[in-house]
Structure 1
Amino acid sequence: MPTDNHINGFRKPIAYQVGGVYGGVFLYIGIIMPFWALWLAKVGMTPGEISFLIGFPSFLKVMSSPFIAQLCDKWGMVRRPMLALMAIAALSFCGYFVFSSFWAYAVVTIIFAAAFTGFLPLLESFAVRAADRYDLQYGRLRAVGSIVFVLTSVAFGYYLDYFGYDHFLYFCLGALVTTFFAVVLLPKEQKPKVTATEEEDADHEPALRFLLTSREFIMFLVVLSLIQMSHGLVYVMGSLHWERQGINNQTIGLLWSLGVVAEIVVFIFCGSFIRRFRPMYVLATIGVLGAVRWGVLAMTASVPLLALAQTMHGLTYGAAHLVAMYYLSSRVPDRYFTTAQSLYSSVPLGLAQGSVMLLAGPLYARFEGQGYYVMAFFCLSVLFIARFVRRVAKDGSESN
């Protein structure tokens, strides 16, 4: 797997090709994440329906991503599956143009999300392996997506304030089509080299069994899950809550983009610094700062304070994501990497976060902004669990 010096430069044509795919993906996410809930509300969806349409797709990661990833590990390729999944995503998204009821939207969302959520871990796997093979810096490849997210969310916020939501779906579909053609431009990957011993082991131990019988890996997923669960309320109801506090679309877009600017700084400049510390120490620190972030969002609608809290997204998501990538790249055999990446995507970013996103609508309807205190509780829980995870990791290393 990639060594540390590989996972943090941006040169060679492959860098622009991979960066182009990240750009297409985050062009779509930069439209959807800040404004999808607002669009759904404008077409008549209730808070409970909005939380279902946004949160339920995360559960599909648990079923679709590991299954797709195991096939890709077996085949030794991800580019062709990426093409197929993005084509399905773009075609299924067209259903939003045709239907208007909640249940029809639910069916379209399930089909779309099964493809799109299966696509994302394959992109991460391709990027990490490209960073290894071509001596690139993963953090800078990933930062391209974050930069596009910032530009898109800010620009689209201005657009919506002036022109409204009439062409909202067309922009989303255009971003998906752009991503498809960016994947077309990717080079065909070579199968990773596997030693004779690894081939023998692989024949007797499937990827999921190897990973899900590792106590350290399971507990690492638990800690990451708590951190990602804490983002559930802001992802679903953040924009709607701010709008109800009198904040306009331009400022909402800026608040989202501030968080991603901080994320970009972490991706580009903080990778080598983060690697100096044990993963659990970094995640425990992230837990404390996350509790502060959600506490601020619960207590105030002051734009300056919200802006300060949003910059902590660089840590609660960006730093946590880098820790996850470094852990997977250093602890997981290459032949299992795509499956491990899919489990990271499907459990912390899927099942755990999706559970909170499903409950975000009812939680917000009952408590409004005070619901962020529940998110702070998730982050503080990391402090208690991280100590146990460190002990498990220590015991595992001693037994080896």
Structure 2
Amino acid sequence: MKKNAALLAIAGFYFFYFAFNGIFSPYWGLYLAGMAFPAWQIGILTSLTQINRIYAPALWGYLADKTGRRQLILRVAGICGFAFFIPLLFATTFWPILIAVLIGSFFWSAALPLVEATAMSLLKGDSGAYSRLRIWGSIGFVVATMGAGYLIEAQGVTVLPLSVLAIMASLALYCWWVPEAPKVAQQVAQQGRFLDIVRRPEVLALFASCFLMALAHGPYYSFYSIYAADHGFSKTTIAWFWTLGVLAEILIFWLMPRLNLRFSQKAILLFGLLIGAWRFAAIGWLMGSLVVLLLAQIAHAFTFGSNHAVNMSYIHRYFAGKHQAKGQALYIAMSFGIGGSLGGILSGLVWQTWGGAWVFSASALSCLLGALIAWRYLPKN
């Protein structure tokens, strides 16, 4: 497959992969709340996709690097991810839903690190070019969030499982079309063993900051919609809040090539972490101010958009060649996996006793700690 066709297939994959997130992140908690699940169960069920990112990407990444059959693994992941989400159409109690989402997201989580590694190989580690390709994921998120918001407003939140399945079916098709990764020359053998790279202080600091930023986002992805609804915002308005954040993300992805020319990777990373501290504190204590909420959503450009693009560049730098898929998998596991799931579960456990303001304050502190670690240990460039 020619490079342009390969990138088109990857763009389609990003669109539907993050369209799934665009439905699941804003509305899954509302769906569960509408079925009268208690907060601790909502915290667990909204964190299952993140929990699978702790171990599944590492398993799939190792298997892909070991066998060299990245495309075959991706196809199996797409088909099985769709099949195991089917029980959501009729499951109404905690354990059947937990099992369906746990298994379905086990396969779903396999796809992203494999495609990310393929994309970065095709783009030769260019984070600016990657950002502009990754825009299609953000567009998919916006389309799904807005479409589902109006659909749920009209038909009720029970339409969510069917919407999820439609997106997963489309994702399975694009998993089939993404090509095998280009062969990488073995000039990187001098990198040494995978664990030797992981133990380097700057790499540990990078993963720590990734973990803490994702930990801070855990309450946001699990309870932001519920928190906004408790403050009187409609589901359509909540959909617009999410959409504004992703539109800001799209803009920053488009601008990343220019930002890379003007600022160091470390400066962009630190700025995102500091903005994250302000953002989550503002969400926690100023939910009644529409202006502050709009600014907080625009800040998503830096707490996720530029932060993720810079992290991808660091990962490609430290884990090139033979360690690429494993490096991508470890990044996803440490951030979206351990960080995101732990943030969601812990926030579910303390949500009713602490209240939203203090939970989001804890998110702000997590960002500050991540900024301190990154400032101290990451190299200047």
TM-score when normalising by structure 1: 0.88
Task: Tell me the equivalent position of 1:373.
Answer: 361
> Distance in 1 between the 2:138 and 2:294 partners?
17
> Distance in 2 between the 1:33 and 1:327 partners?
26
Query: Are 1:285 and 2:277 matched, yes or no?
Result: no
Post-superposition, which runs of at least 4 consecutive aligned residues in structure 1 deviate over 4 A? 133-136
- Residues 340-364 of structure 1 deviation map (CA, whole Å, 9 limit, x = unaligned): 1111100122112211111111222
> Distance in 2 between the 1:230 and 1:271 partners?
27
2:228 aligns to what SS in structure 1?
Answer: helix
Q: CA, structure 1 residues 16+387, in 2 after alignment: closer, same or farther (shift >3 Å)?
A: closer
> Distance in 2 between the 1:350 and 1:376 partners?
19
Query: Are 1:295 and 2:281 matched, yes or no?
Result: yes
1:45 aligns to what SS in structure 2?
Answer: coil
1:132 aligns to what SS in structure 2?
Answer: coil
> Distance in 2 between the 1:111 and 1:323 partners?
31
1:94 aligns to what SS in structure 2?
Answer: helix
Give the total of aligned pairs: 377
Query: Are 1:122 and 2:109 matched, yes or no?
Result: no
- Residues 324-345 of structure 1 deviation map (CA, whole Å, 9 limit, x = unaligned): 1111222322110111111110
Question: Does structure 2 conserve the Cα–Cα contact (< 8 Å) formed by 1:76 and 1:191?
Answer: no
Residue 224 of structure 1, aligned match among 197, 210, 217: 210
Task: Tell me the equivalent position of 1:7.
Answer: none
Counterpart of 1:38 in structure 2: which amino acid? L
Task: Tell me the equivalent position of 2:51.
Answer: 59
Question: Does structure 1 conserve the Cα–Cα contact (< 8 Å) formed by 2:282 and 2:293?
Answer: yes
- Residues 41-67 of structure 1 deviation map (CA, whole Å, 9 limit, x = unaligned): 112211110100112442322222112
Question: Does structure 2 conserve the Cα–Cα contact (< 8 Å) formed by 1:211 and 1:340?
Answer: no
Query: Are 1:388 and 2:369 matched, yes or no?
Result: no
Q: Which runs of no fewer than 5 residues in structure 1 stay unpaired? A: 1-10
Residue 164 of structure 2, aligned match among 153, 161, 172: 172
2:373 aligns to what SS in structure 1?
Answer: helix
Question: Does structure 1 conserve the Cα–Cα contact (< 8 Å) formed by 2:113 and 2:332?
Answer: yes
Task: Tell me the equivalent position of 1:44.
Answer: 36
More displaced, 266-275 or 99-108? Answer: 266-275
Task: Tell me the equivalent position of 1:161.
Answer: 153
1:193 aligns to what SS in structure 2?
Answer: coil
Task: Tell me the equivalent position of 2:173.
Answer: 181
Question: Does structure 2 conserve the Cα–Cα contact (< 8 Å) formed by 1:332 and 1:340?
Answer: yes
2:103 aligns to what SS in structure 1?
Answer: helix
Query: Are 1:214 and 2:214 matched, yes or no?
Result: no
Deviation at 1:134, TM superposition (A): 11
Query: Are 1:252 and 2:252 matched, yes or no?
Result: no
Deviation at 1:95, TM superposition (A): 1.9
1:216 aligns to what SS in structure 2?
Answer: helix
Task: Tell me the equivalent position of 2:307.
Answer: 320
Deviation at 1:282, TM superposition (A): 2.4
Deviation at 1:35, TM superposition (A): 0.5
- Residues 248-282 of structure 1 deviation map (CA, whole Å, 9 limit, x = unaligned): 01110000011111111111112341364343332
Counterpart of 1:229 in structure 2: which amino acid? L
Residue 131 of structure 2, aligned match among 139, 146, 151: 139
- Residues 180-228 of structure 1 deviation map (CA, whole Å, 9 limit, x = unaligned): 1112222343332224x72xx69xx653x23333222112100121122
1:228-239 superposed matches below 5 A: 228-239=214-225
> Distance in 1 between the 2:261 and 2:218 partners?
27
Residue 85 of structure 1, aligned match among 77, 83, 92: 77
Deviation at 1:233, TM superposition (A): 0.8
Counterpart of 2:220 in structure 1: which amino acid? V
Query: Are 1:95 and 2:82 matched, yes or no?
Result: no
Residue 105 of structure 2, aligned match among 110, 113, 117: 113
Q: CA, structure 1 residues 328+235, in 2 after alignment: closer, same or farther (shift >3 Å)?
A: same
Deviation at 1:179, TM superposition (A): 0.7
Deviation at 1:135, TM superposition (A): 12
> Distance in 1 between the 2:318 and 2:308 partners?
15
Residue 69 of structure 1, aligned match among 49, 61, 70: 61
Residue 319 of structure 2, aligned match among 332, 347, 351: 332
> Distance in 1 between the 2:226 and 2:128 partners?
39
Q: CA, structure 1 residues 187+348, in 2 after alignment: closer, same or farther (shift >3 Å)?
A: closer
Counterpart of 1:63 in structure 2: which amino acid? Y
Deviation at 1:75, TM superposition (A): 2.5
Counterpart of 2:151 in structure 1: which amino acid? Y
Question: Does structure 1 conserve the Cα–Cα contact (< 8 Å) formed by 2:271 and 2:302?
Answer: no
Identity of aligned residues (%): 23
Deviation at 1:133, TM superposition (A): 9.6
> Distance in 2 between the 1:44 and 1:331 partners?
46
Counterpart of 1:249 in structure 2: which amino acid? K
Question: Does structure 1 conserve the Cα–Cα contact (< 8 Å) formed by 2:186 and 2:322?
Answer: yes
> Distance in 2 between the 1:151 and 1:25 partners?
12
> Distance in 1 between the 2:80 and 2:197 partners?
29
More displaced, 236-245 or 153-162? Answer: 153-162
C-alpha RMSD of the superposition: 2.3
Question: Does structure 2 conserve the Cα–Cα contact (< 8 Å) formed by 1:77 and 1:191?
Answer: no
Question: Does structure 2 conserve the Cα–Cα contact (< 8 Å) formed by 1:225 and 1:352?
Answer: yes
